[in-house]
Structure 1
Amino acid sequence: MAASSVTFEALGTSVFLAVRDPDDLSPARGLADQVLADVDATCSRFRDDSDLSRVNAHPGRWVEVDPLLVSGVAVAVAAARATGGLVHPLLGRQLIELGYDRDFGALVEDDGSTVTETEPPDLGAWERIEADPAGALRIPDGTSLDLGATGKAWAADLVAAACDLHLRSSAIVSVGGDLRIARPDGTPWSVAISERPGAAADVLVGLDRGGLATSSTRVRRWTRTGSRHHHVLDPRTGRPAREVWRTVTATGETCSAANSASTASIVLGDEAPGWLAERGVTARLVATDGAVRTVGAWPAGTAGCPTGTTAGCAAGGTA
């Protein structure tokens, strides 16, 4: 059965959704629209009316929030725990100080503002986040919540979970290049991996379950006071991570797990291949000079979809 697909915009990025059974496409799109709208309304750092923004406005105090935000923070804390704080959910202040203070599409290149030099963030601050699953959060004084490091992957997992419950056939969802398979049926989906949105595929792989995520320093970049910055911060310094790998793609049981590994690898730099191997993570790393290194049983290449995303071929690049 030929797959059917749709591409649309949400969460400030491109979303790709494909289903094996064409009759599942409309309900799958409806599920994705609802999930992603809910995530945006509760978890966006760029909306003044979001629950996350209310939490950031009152650090050190309990704030009532939608349980969905509590769930998203739980995923972010789990990523911090799994990576020893290398994937850190409390870097909002540092991103703002570097100039990333609005949705990336609205960011003004070198708007004349200065970059404030601050003390490195508290690497263990994430351990002091408090949560009530019924709907309340408290972040430590002097911190600011940002789910950018985990949000797209978590959103892909949420859409896939909804498809697991309501669809009849296998589906795949990619949120800005972070993807998850729903209702796996043993038949691989063809995934086109590229370093830039809409670019020709650098490599094609077959994925029949779980998730895949890509972290990169190449796309979300901006200039402040003559310096170029990217959005993957090293929480040990509060500054953009040193560019050893320009792109890292990893697989995992979930998209969130894959994303934790790929983001941590950007931060770790030279140490990343060993770190990934110790944890049994399958990954593909592209160095700043374009040299490619793989770790673990990187999926075999597939044919088709040589120039972009088509039905049945999901985009696994980054945005």
Structure 2
Amino acid sequence: MPADTSTSCTLEALGTYVFIGTRSSTDLPLAVQVARQILADVDETCSRFRTDSDLTRVNNHPGQWVEVDQILIAAIDTACEAARKTDGLVNPLLGRPLVTLGYDRDFDLLVAAEEESSLVPEVTPSPDIAAWQQIGLDPGGAVIIPVGTALDLGSTGKAWAADLVAAAFADLLDSPALISLGGDIRISENDGTPWEIAISERPPDLLGEPGDTVVVGLDSGGLATSSTRVRQWRRGGVRRHHLLDPRTGLPAPEVWRTATATGPNCTAANTASTVAIVLGEAAPRWLDDRGISARLVSSDGDITLVGDWPEDATTTLSGRRG
């Protein structure tokens, strides 16, 4: 990604870093302004960790219709579409299992308090993987979720927000731009010149070890990385990560510690990378059957490439497939 500060900027939103890159330096100020506003709106409506968010109000009243902002309607609709395409493996109703496992606050606060209890949290019975089909959406501005469930949009929310920002870039900027939300990346328009993307298993502030990053070119669409290594916490000495298998309500077994995938947009890419972690050994075939290019890193560091993923940085990836 561009390192020139006249065409790039890094900030924070939605509990992660935000990288914005523009082809033209004159576009950067507007790009930053647009991204800040959209991401603030998404946080206010869709955060599981804000007591005043629309999503929290929905979770506080399962089984009842709750009036919400259209932003949350769109976010849940996107999450349900991802669930439909993956038979529920990417699931918007994992809020209660995540809380039971200890992920009940913003991640920075979670890590700071990770040894506050010496008890291993009791795991609730496996969630109903098909319960998302009972979510009701009123286009006029209301949501209902099944009794005994809670929303968590972590499996699609950041990627969907990246798509929102990129769409605004396409409408408002004079030249193409890119946004990365914690590694969930979307290019606003294809101008024939690939963007250099550095893919890592660690956040930018923790890089430094040899082999931490691999660089690829991306000319369009989206790219997303899901990893069990970043959002980890402990309760009573038990290590957990945030990528749950909806079939069990537990963190997915770490067959792959990192999965990176492409897609026509960031939501599609992130859906694929999440499914890869959840499916484990079955992931390469699932991805290949759908024409998705991906790079999988096993728990012991072995690399598996799927589809058109290049073996070196001289080949450009296209997000149009998948």
Q: TM-score band (shorter)?
A: over 0.9
After superposition, residues 105-120 of structure 1 pair within 5 angstroms as 105-107=108-110, 108-112=113-117, 114-120=120-126
Report whether the alignment pairs 1:89 with 2:92. yes
Which deviations, in whole Å up to 9, do the C-alpha atoms of 1:15-47 show, x marking residues without a partner? Answer: 000000100000000100000000000000000
Q: Which residue of 2 aligns with 1:32?
A: 35
- Identity percentage over the alignment? 60
- CA distance 1:299–1:17, change in 2 (3 Å): farther
Equivalent-residue separation in structure 2 for 1:24 and 1:78 (angstroms)? 33
Q: Which of 149, 157, 168 in structure 1 is aligned with 2:155?
A: 149
**Aligned-pair CA distance for 1:220:** 0.5
Q: Which has the higher contact order (CA 8 A, sep 6+)?
A: 1
**Aligned-pair CA distance for 1:225:** 1.7
SS of 2:87's equivalent in the other structure is coil
SS of 1:257's equivalent in the other structure is helix
Equivalent-residue separation in structure 1 for 2:140 and 2:312 (angstroms)? 45
Q: Which of 77, 80, 105 in structure 2 is aligned with 1:102?
A: 105
Equivalent-residue separation in structure 2 for 1:301 and 1:8 (angstroms)? 30
Equivalent-residue separation in structure 2 for 1:54 and 1:301 (angstroms)? 47
Q: Which residue of 2 aligns with 1:234?
A: 245
SS of 1:142's equivalent in the other structure is coil
The answer (yes or no) to whether the contact 1:85–1:235 under 8 Å persists in 2 is yes
- CA distance 1:43–1:262, change in 2 (3 Å): same
After superposition, residues 1-319 of structure 1 pair within 5 angstroms as 4-107=7-110, 108-112=113-117, 114-198=120-204, 199-200=207-208, 201-299=212-310, 301-302=312-313
Q: How high is the TM-score relative to the length of structure 1?
A: 0.93
Which deviations, in whole Å up to 9, do the C-alpha atoms of 1:195-242 show, x marking residues without a partner? Answer: 001225521000010000000000100111221000000000000001
Moved more, 76-85 or 36-45: 76-85
SS of 2:38's equivalent in the other structure is helix
Equivalent-residue separation in structure 2 for 1:191 and 1:94 (angstroms)? 33
One-letter code aligned to 1:259: N
One-letter code aligned to 1:57: N
Structure 1: runs of 5 or more not aligned: 304-319
One-letter code aligned to 1:295: V
Structure 2: runs of 5 or more not aligned: 315-322
The answer (yes or no) to whether the contact 1:206–1:300 under 8 Å persists in 2 is no
One-letter code aligned to 2:72: L
Q: Which residue of 1 aligns with 2:318?
A: none
**Aligned-pair CA distance for 1:191:** 0.1
The answer (yes or no) to whether the contact 1:206–1:299 under 8 Å persists in 2 is no
One-letter code aligned to 2:126: P
**Aligned-pair CA distance for 1:117:** 2.4
Equivalent-residue separation in structure 1 for 2:140 and 2:313 (angstroms)? 45
Q: Which residue of 2 aligns with 1:310?
A: none
Equivalent-residue separation in structure 2 for 1:191 and 1:300 (angstroms)? 14
Q: Which residue of 2 aligns with 1:312?
A: none
**Aligned-pair CA distance for 1:302:** 3.6
**Aligned-pair CA distance for 1:299:** 4.2
Equivalent-residue separation in structure 2 for 1:168 and 1:214 (angstroms)? 28
Equivalent-residue separation in structure 2 for 1:269 and 1:261 (angstroms)? 12
**Aligned-pair CA distance for 1:135:** 1.1
One-letter code aligned to 1:231: H
Equivalent-residue separation in structure 2 for 1:154 and 1:255 (angstroms)? 7
Equivalent-residue separation in structure 1 for 2:278 and 2:246 (angstroms)? 8
SS of 2:48's equivalent in the other structure is coil
Query: Over the residues paired in the alignment, what is the CA RMSD in angstroms?
Result: 1.4
Q: How high is the TM-score relative to the length of structure 2?
A: 0.92
Which deviations, in whole Å up to 9, do the C-alpha atoms of 1:282-303 show, x marking residues without a partner? Answer: 0000000100001000146448
The answer (yes or no) to whether the contact 1:206–1:301 under 8 Å persists in 2 is no
Which deviations, in whole Å up to 9, do the C-alpha atoms of 1:97-147 show, x marking residues without a partner? Answer: 000000001111121154122110001001110101221100001000000
The answer (yes or no) to whether the contact 1:178–1:255 under 8 Å persists in 2 is yes
